[in-house]
């Protein structure tokens, strides 16, 4: 009856796995909710900021700001955002694949590429195969503006010092819980801003600027970088937890399927063993009756 015992043991093991995956699903769900709230709370800030920037840039022109400088491109850098932990389906793999394709494409154009990995998975993947720098990990536990500013401080000074000519950001765009979309976005040089739509009368009023409009606009440009990075981190984090929720939900369902098919097998084996025992007994009595 070893087979019976084996099946029983297997059922127990799968049931335990199911408990774990279900717990992980719930943890991911609560983290996802927090990440989603963060994203929603950020929207008014990003919206007002872009509005102000668009409005201001339509009034004042900055041709010479170093962050807008378009140079002949030779060296580029790319920030790759991935999660710190796995068990979230193809989430990190998709981002890494996009990064690899991006690198190959740019290298074929004869450009020198450097990667700035943010998040453990991307860092570990590229550590040995590729030139990386300013890597960060374990940042998704505490996401705030200070983090975005500190990442920006790694990338803004070298761009101004002309150590590289273009910067891209590879991150996960959050569409909804089940749809994650890896995105590539150019950060430097900052693309020209969309001019504000047809001005209404209130926009015709002259603004007072304190300090000068030019100074404000120049200070707003680094902030634009902060806003973009913060948004990318928030979306990547929401995507990671959404993907993990889906992956763990799937795993739980698979466990349930396995348990039911194993139970069926177990019952069949049990019946078979009872039948064979009965056959033995019946055979025994028949033999006795004949004698």
Partner 1 sequence: MSSEMTLEIITPEGIAFQGVVDEVTIPGTEGEFGVLKGHAPMLGSVGIGTLSIEKDRSRIFYAVNTGYAQVSPTRLTLLLETAERSDLIDQQRAEKALKRAEEKIDKLSRDDIEFAMAQAALKRALARINTAGKS
- Residues binding partner 1: number (CB under 8 A): 25
Determine if 205 is a binding residue for partner 1 (CB under 8 A): yes
**Piece in contact with partner 1 (CB under 8 A), picked from 19-27, 43-51, 255-263, 281-289:** 43-51
Of 65 and 270, CB closest to partner 1? 65
Helix (H, G, I), strand (E, B) or coil at 177: coil
CA distance 131 to 165: 17
The DSSP annotation for 107-175 comes to: HHTT-EEEEEEESHHHHHHHTTTS-B-S-B-S-TTS--HHHHHHHHHHHHHHHHTTS-SEEEEEEEEEE
- Look up residue 46 and give its two tokens: 């990003």
**Piece in contact with partner 1 (CB under 8 A), picked from 16-24, 44-52, 89-97, 166-174:** 44-52
Determine if 197 is a binding residue for partner 1 (CB under 8 A): no
6 in Cβ contact with 271 (< 8 Å): no
Determine if 211 is a binding residue for partner 1 (CB under 8 A): yes
CA distance 241 to 251: 15
139 in Cβ contact with 119 (< 8 Å): yes
CA distance 291 to 289: 6
CA distance 184 to 188: 12
At closest approach, how far in Å is the CB of 190 from partner 1?
18
x-marked contacts with partner 1 along 144-173 as a string, rule CB under 8 A: xx----------------------------
**Piece in contact with partner 1 (CB under 8 A), picked from 90-98, 127-135, 202-210, 235-243:** 202-210
Helix (H, G, I), strand (E, B) or coil at 73: coil
Of 195 and 215, CB closest to partner 1? 215
Q: Of residues 64, 202, 276, 291, which one binds partner 1 by CB under 8 A?
A: 202
**Piece in contact with partner 1 (CB under 8 A), picked from 158-166, 198-206, 247-255, 278-286:** 198-206
Determine if 220 is a binding residue for partner 1 (CB under 8 A): yes
Determine if 62 is a binding residue for partner 1 (CB under 8 A): no
203 in Cβ contact with 196 (< 8 Å): yes
What's the chain's length in residues? 291
Region 67-106 residues binding partner 1, contact defined as CB under 8 A: none
Contacting residues toward partner 1, per CB under 8 A: 38, 41-42, 44-45, 48-49, 52, 56, 144-145, 202, 205-211, 213, 215-216, 219-220, 230
């Amino acid at each position: 009856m070893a087979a019976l015992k084996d099946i029983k043991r297997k059922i127990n093991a799968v049931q335990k796995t199911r408990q774990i995956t279900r717990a992980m699903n719930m943890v991911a769900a609560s983290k996802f909710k927090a990440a989603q709230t963060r994203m929603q709370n950020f929207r008014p800030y990003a919206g007002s900021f872009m509005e102000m920037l668009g409005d201001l840039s339509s009034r004042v022109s900055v041709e010479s700001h170093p962050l807008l400088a378009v140079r002949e491109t030779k060296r580029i850098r790319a920030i790759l955002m991935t999660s710190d932990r796995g068990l979230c389906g193809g989430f990190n793999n998709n981002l890494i694949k996009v990064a690899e394709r991006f690198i190959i494409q740019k290298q074929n154009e004869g450009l020198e590429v450097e990667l700035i990995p943010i998040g453990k998975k991307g860092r570990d993947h590229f550590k040995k195969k590729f030139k990386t720098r300013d890597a960060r990990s374990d940042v998704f536990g505490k996401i705030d503006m200070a983090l975005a500013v500190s990442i920006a401080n790694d990338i803004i000074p070298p761009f101004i010092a002309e150590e590289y000519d273009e910067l891209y950001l590879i991150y996960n765009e959050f569409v909804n819980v089940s749809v994650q979309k890896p995105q590539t976005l150019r950060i430097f040089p900052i693309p020209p801003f969309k001019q504000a739509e047809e001005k209404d009368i209130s926009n015709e009023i002259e603004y007072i600027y304190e300090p000068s409009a030019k100074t404000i606009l120049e200070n707003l440009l680094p902030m634009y970088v902060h806003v973009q990075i913060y948004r990318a981190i928030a979306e990547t984090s929401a995507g990671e937890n959404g993907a993990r929720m889906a992956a763990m939900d799937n795993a739980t369902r698979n466990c349930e399927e396995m348990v039911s098919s194993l139970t069926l097998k177990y019952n069949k084996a049990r019946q078979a063993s009872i039948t064979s025992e009965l056959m033995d007994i019946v055979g025994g009595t028949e033999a006795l009756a004949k004698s």
